[in-house]
Amino acid sequence: MNLLTKFTDHIKLKNGFTNQHQFLLAVSGGIDSVVLCDLFHKAKLQFSIAHCNFQLRGAESERDELFVKELAKKYEVDIFVQHFDTKAYAENNKLSTQVAARDLRYDWFRQLIAEGKASYIVTAHHADDNIETVVMNFFRGTGLKGLIGMDEHFQQVWRPLLGIRRKEILDYAAQHELQHVEDSSNASSNYTRNYFRNEMLPAIAQVFPQVVENLLKNIARLTEVELVYKQAIANYKKQLVEIKGKEAHIPILKLLKAEPVRTILWEILSEYNFTAAQVDEILKLMQADNGSYVESPSHRIIKNRNWLIIAAKKAEEISNFIVVEAQQKKVDFPGGSLQFEYDIPASHVTISADASVAFIDAHELHFPLLLRKWKKGDYFYPLGMQKKKKLSKFFIDNKLSLIQKENTWVLESNKRIVWVIGQRLDNRFKLQPSTGSVVRVKLISK
């Protein structure tokens, strides 16, 4: 079966798209997106083109833009072009170039959708891209979802070539004599994806020649496994969760008989913004005294006799809690924003007296962190002191005004205050002679 027939059959069988829909194709000018354009044209689907000029490769970026504009003329379709100062955005937000480009690209795509330019964004991701994603996710330590890879449909993004091998795309381009431009950075293994594409997967193929085909089969199997998993979790939730008004009630004895209890409990709790790191804490809660509870940014789970009760917190409480995940680069909160920089060698750090910057021993941090307003009873060990001090006493000693007190936030790790934001680091988190890796946190005030 030729690629065009496979493409059109897939649309009819699985997607139900017709020539009444308007699609916005993300086109770089590379061979994948060029073939995508030709398939849409020959399938008589209405489309326009969106091209991002990230201004990262000088004259080559300008060449790509001109090529895509000519492509739009060839197919007689509308084209939207956006220029980004990607380097500045990456530096300002402490992001890698790849992540910055992705964020900029999809933010613009969503804007075009919101402006009514199209109903769907279409990308040229194919099966080999998905394989690379799955392998990267495996080494990152993601769960079942990460081992399935990309979704063909995600919100308003559609990836119709996800079941197509790159060899089929190359053969189609050669057969139809389609011109394209080559991104010179694809040959470099400095980028994570390129390293897996150019170095790791070819090395594995030397030992397991069928690695790509086997991974595609695994993706198909695990996609079906996820369906079974979701069905099983839905059944457990139906058996274990009783909704009473605005609360969710879980019978402890019944929950403890469920297997595997940790996974089932996590699937229930994730809907209420609890983190995977809190599951063990909530398992201990079942043996705790009545009235004991564990909090997420939006909910409390309370032990009440033989029940766990999940209840929403008050609106004013919710606004005072923000979860900070591992490797998160920026967090906005009412007092401004925090910018995080990770994996800094301690030997490269020069500590200053700037109260808006905290250098923290990475070994002492346990993610996710909690960014919250201080509350009565809070205490910490002020930098340079071996004894704990209540924050209320710390504020008095430092002559803070009532407004300053009310606007004080703290960064918390595993129920220990790490930093009274913009004021004092906790002594337990300071850099030591043994410190290897450092996390730098900077407060950007409003």
Domain positions in the chain: 3-208, 241-315, 322-445
Is-contact 103 95, C-beta < 8 A?
yes
Instruction: Quote the pTM value.
Output: 0.61
The Cα 281–Cα 419 span in angstroms is 23
Domain 322-445 in CATH 3.50.40.10: yes
Q: Which amino acid is at 88?
A: A
The whole-number pLDDT of residue 162 equals: 92
The whole-number pLDDT of residue 188 equals: 67
The whole-number pLDDT of residue 318 equals: 54
The whole-number pLDDT of residue 229 equals: 93
SS3 273: coil
Question: Taking all residues of the chain, what is their mean pLDDT, rounded to a whole number?
Answer: 89
The whole-number pLDDT of residue 276 equals: 82
Of the candidate CATH numbers 3.30.70, 1.10.3470, 3.30.465, 1.10.8, the domain formed by 241-315 belongs to: 3.30.465
- Which helix (H) or strand (E) segment holds residue 288: the answer is none
Residue of 259, 263, 239, 261 lying closest to 250 (CA atoms): 239
For the chain, how are helix, strand and coil distributed in percent, rounded to 5? 45, 25, 35
The whole-number pLDDT of residue 19 equals: 62
The structure tokens listed for 250 are 């879980």
Give the residues of the chain that fall short of pLDDT 70.
Answer: 13-20, 187-188, 190, 315-319
Is-contact 270 248, C-beta < 8 A?
no
The whole-number pLDDT of residue 114 equals: 85
Is-contact 162 13, C-beta < 8 A?
no
Indicate if 322-445 has the same CATH topology as 3-208: no
Question: What class, spelled out in words, does domain 3-208 have in CATH?
Answer: alpha beta
